[in-house]
């Protein structure tokens, strides 16, 4: 019997149950996940264990063979694809492994677009920018002229700018040196965060660790 207080139910931001997917000839089943508001969870797994696939399932970018995902009390599987897109823009911050930046747009363009899609007032993100230790002169530089590590921090800033209900981050520090990795890891604040990585050195920074 569950002895947790009833507020735990309403404080649940993410609940994923019985998720599995078939990719080619491979069938991957994932552990159940539950995140309370403000909680941070690191999902550790080796290359090919399904970390990116899990993020895609949780964010509604991939349809599972079995199982369900609820975010902020709403069932992702019950939404149409355009409802899912809207929900993602308004409630989720995503840092993709492949970053998904638009090469000819500047960092400030990316932050403004994120705010626009989320239905929020635009923000210049200058505090965030400073916290991520990015030179202000880069704010108006097309991202194709930035280093991979700088682009990774633009992707992190874009995920954080609207203070979403939940952040999914796929190896967001893989291209960073230790100093910048620490800066990014100090930026999440009290956000509800699920990060996937192969890097077990990150474990001490999270409330919980789940291994695939």
- Residues linked to residue 15 through DSSP beta bridges, in sequence order: 34, 70
- Taking the C-alpha atoms of residue 125 and residue 209, their distance in angstroms, rounded to an integer, is 30
Q: Binding of ligand ATP at residue 64 (CB under 6 A)?
A: no
Q: Binding of ligand ATP at residue 47 (CB under 6 A)?
A: yes
Per CB under 6 A, the segment of 12-20, 51-59, 78-86, 203-211 that binds ligand ATP is 51-59
- Angle subtended by helix axes 148-160 and 107-117, to nearest 10: 30
What separation in angstroms does the CA of 75 have from each of 20, 70, 98, 103? 16, 4, 26, 33
Exactly one of 12, 30, 42, 51 binds ligand ATP (CB under 6 A); which one? 51
CB 29 within 8 A of CB 38: no
Exactly one of 14, 45, 114, 169 binds ligand ATP (CB under 6 A); which one? 45
Exactly one of 13, 50, 131, 188 binds ligand ATP (CB under 6 A); which one? 50
- Taking the C-alpha atoms of residue 74 and residue 66, their distance in angstroms, rounded to an integer, is 17
User: For the purposes of burial, counting CB atoms within 10 Å of the CB of 57, is it exposed (0-12), middle (13-18) or buried (19 or more)?
Assistant: buried
Exactly one of 8, 9, 18, 23 binds ligand ATP (CB under 6 A); which one? 23
Considering the complex, what minimum distance in angstroms separates the CB of residue 62 from ligand ATP? 9
- Taking the C-alpha atoms of residue 166 and residue 146, their distance in angstroms, rounded to an integer, is 27
Closest CB to ligand ATP among residues 48, 122: 48
Per CB under 6 A, the segment of 5-13, 49-57, 66-74, 99-107 that binds ligand ATP is 49-57
Give the residue from 151, 45, 177, 47 showing the smallest Cα distance to 99.
151
Q: Binding of ligand ATP at residue 53 (CB under 6 A)?
A: yes
Residue with tokens 């409630």: 91
Site string for ligand ATP, 102-141 (x = CB under 6 A): ----------------------------------------
Summarize as ranges the residues that interact with ligand ATP (CB under 6 A).
23-24, 26, 45, 47-53, 97, 198
């Amino acid at each position: 019997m569950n002895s947790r207080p009833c507020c735990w139910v309403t404080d649940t931001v993410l609940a994923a149950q019985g998720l599995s997917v078939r990719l080619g000839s491979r069938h991957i089943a994932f552990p159940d996940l539950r995140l309370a508001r403000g909680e941070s969870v690191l999902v550790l797994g080796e290359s090919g264990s399904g970390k990116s696939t899990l993020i895609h399932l949780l964010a509604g970018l991939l349809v599972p063979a079995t199982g369900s995902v609820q975010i902020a009390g709403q069932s992702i599987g019950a939404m149409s694809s355009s409802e899912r897109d809207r929900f993602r823009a308004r409630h989720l911050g995503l840092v993709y492994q492949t970053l998904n930046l638009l090469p000819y747009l500047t960092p400030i363009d990316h932050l403004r677009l994120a705010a626009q899609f989320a239905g929020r007032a635009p923000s210049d993100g200058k505090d965030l920018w400073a916290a991520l230790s990015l030179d202000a002169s880069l704010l108006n530089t097309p991202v194709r002229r930035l280093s991979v590590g700088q682009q990774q921090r633009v992707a992190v800033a874009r995920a954080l700018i609207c203070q979403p209900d939940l952040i999914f981050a796929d190896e967001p520090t893989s291209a960073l040196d230790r100093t910048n990795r620490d800066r990014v890891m100090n930026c999440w604040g009290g956000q509800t965060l699920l990060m996937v990585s192969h890097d077990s050195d990150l474990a001490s920074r999270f409330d919980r660790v789940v291994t695939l």
